[in-house]
Structure 1
Amino acid sequence: MLNTLPDLHRSFAEQLKLKLQSDPRIHSLLAGGSFIHGGFDQYSDLDFVVVVDPLYYDEIMAKRMAFAGTLGHLLHAFTGEHVGEPRLLICLFGPQLLHVDLKFITLDMLTQRVEEPAVLFTRDNDALERQLAKFSAHWPDMTPEWFESRAWIWLHYAVVKLGRGELFEAMGMLSFFREQVLGPMLFRRANLPQRGVRRIEALGIDPDGLLTSTLATHDRHSVGIAIRRAADAYVTLRADALPDNIADDAARRAVLA
């Protein structure tokens, strides 16, 4: 399973597996992300789920920075509150740089998951399989209504920032809009799980160049055109699955005015 990884990733994963196998506090080691979605390459990060014996969970959570430091040459790490996942530790190891995500859970916490993990090792395969069987993985795709509720608010934000001359703010919102709205809707059009703008170039799911049409330079006219094209791209993609909460076209007219 690990022998298909690039050398750097494989070496780290193998060492991690051996270390955790020797730690009786660890129940299982699971892998996710590109490891299971495919397309793993030298630029990929490693996503691990460390299943901890509940008797030791609080202890390990309290000392997880130090715990991560025992896994290799840890340069920096921080916790994942910014993505709503405080159990996540985002790490950068060196000297050859490697991004590693470590999510610490107990077996009971495994029911809520967005993907079916690969099992690298477990001390109790039956218990692990029973827990995995209780619930299926659910990828958090957004609904048409979710997009409609937010799209015009976010585009209006870009418009007012443009009006004030805050071009970096407006350009930042356009980038955010591509990641949160247009990219996921392109994945929806391709009948794929919504994953922001991940690998869109490689997947070839934007043949009409909707995303590139929304790119702007640091110029008021360029940003204004990009906002209009972002609105047009949204309306085009919205037609694939019309939401129930379209009130009227007032928001669109205001954005495009």
Structure 2
Amino acid sequence: MQHAIFQSFINNAIAVLQESTDMLGLAIAGSWITHETDSFSDLDLVLVSTTKISDNPEQMKAVANQLGTVLSAFTGEHVGETRLLICLYNNPLLHVDIKFLTLDEFHHRIENPVVVWERDHQLTNIIQETQAVWPYPDYQWIEDRFWVWIHYATLKIGRGELLEAFDFLGFIRMMVLGPLLHIKNGNQPRGVRKVETKLALEDFAELRKTVVPMTKTDLVAALWKSIKLYEDLQNHLFDANITLKEDAAQEVKVYLYKVEKM
């Protein structure tokens, strides 16, 4: 049923876009590529035009409004992508992300979307001639930050800011543990998305141990678990080119132990 709703929206979008000579093509990314859309999916569109639209949010919204009834729309600064317009449509109620690209920008992709409409095979030719590159985390970047982040969470627990520490554990799962576990399991590092089904059962069980009630005892235990899981992932994924912050690790562990005993 949801696929039919999506297809109806796409068909309407194609009919609208092909009326403008500035529009060059429409493609669909995300779960559409792997045929994993379901009733809870959003729709990830890639809209390619001759004119650069993404530097004008009002123009982006004007195009989005042509495709259906927009309840709300905003650009994607919070996810580091200003070329993205995040839309909530009505009749039917749909979450639709529209990425506005020029033909030159389409050369640089993290995945190959499904082209549903184009002029003169321009998108298809680019896909055939260039390679999509999914961004993988920089292990050194993570190692340089991990122990500072654990120390920060420990400070919050020590001060009694338990909700802050609780939220920060979610950040560590999103930025460190989730991506590294995905890589260990041969998946694209998409934070904690679909970890329930994409990780080996034992790996998901270990990650699940970092999700705890909001008490000092439980949060400290979750930090220790996060440390153990991270160090196991270090051993599994990191090579000799990664400089481990061993002194930082030791001092942070000592401090966490002190806070645990307070």
Is the TM-score greater than 0.5? yes
Select which of 42, 52, 71 maps to 2:39. Answer: 42
Aligned runs of 1:78-227 on 2, under 5 Å?
78-125=74-121, 127-208=122-203, 209-227=205-223
Counterpart residue number, 1:254: 252
Is the alpha carbon distance of 1:167 and 1:95 closer, same or farther for their aligned partners in structure 2, counting shifts above 3 Å?
farther
* Whole-angstrom CA distance in 1 between matches of 2:63 and 2:53: 12
* Whole-angstrom CA distance in 1 between matches of 2:193 and 2:103: 30
Q: Secondary structure at 1:28's aligned position in 2?
A: strand
* Whole-angstrom CA distance in 2 between matches of 1:69 and 1:146: 40
* Whole-angstrom CA distance in 1 between matches of 2:215 and 2:245: 33
**Is residue 231–residue 252 contact of structure 1 (8 Å, CA) maintained in 2?**
no
* RMSD value, Cα: 2.1
**Is residue 186–residue 206 contact of structure 1 (8 Å, CA) maintained in 2?**
no
Give the % identical residues: 37
| Residue segments in structure 1 that go unaligned for 5+ positions in a row | none
**Is residue 184–residue 196 contact of structure 1 (8 Å, CA) maintained in 2?**
yes
**Is residue 144–residue 245 contact of structure 2 (8 Å, CA) maintained in 1?**
no
> Residue type of the partner of 2:109?
R
**Is residue 69–residue 91 contact of structure 2 (8 Å, CA) maintained in 1?**
yes
* Whole-angstrom CA distance in 2 between matches of 1:5 and 1:119: 19
Moved over 6 A (4+): none
Task: Give the paired residue count.
Answer: 252
Find out whether 1:23 has 2:20 as its counterpart.
yes
* Whole-angstrom CA distance in 1 between matches of 2:201 and 2:252: 27
**Is residue 61–residue 104 contact of structure 1 (8 Å, CA) maintained in 2?**
no
Find out whether 1:69 has 2:65 as its counterpart.
yes
Q: Secondary structure at 2:89's aligned position in 1?
A: strand
Which has the higher mean CA deviation after the structures are superposed, 106-115 or 60-69? Answer: 60-69
> Residue type of the partner of 2:234?
R
Q: Secondary structure at 1:207's aligned position in 2?
A: helix
**Is residue 162–residue 223 contact of structure 1 (8 Å, CA) maintained in 2?**
yes
* Whole-angstrom CA distance in 2 between matches of 1:66 and 1:43: 26
* Whole-angstrom CA distance in 2 between matches of 1:60 and 1:80: 13
**Is residue 136–residue 189 contact of structure 2 (8 Å, CA) maintained in 1?**
yes
Counterpart residue number, 2:260: none
Which has the higher mean CA deviation after the structures are superposed, 130-139 or 73-82? Answer: 130-139
Select which of 223, 229, 233 maps to 2:225. Answer: 229
State the shift of 1:70 in Å: 2.0
List per-residue Cα deviations over 1:190-230 (Å, max 9, x = no partner). 12211111111122434241211101212111111111111
> Residue type of the partner of 2:116?
L
> Residue type of the partner of 1:19?
V
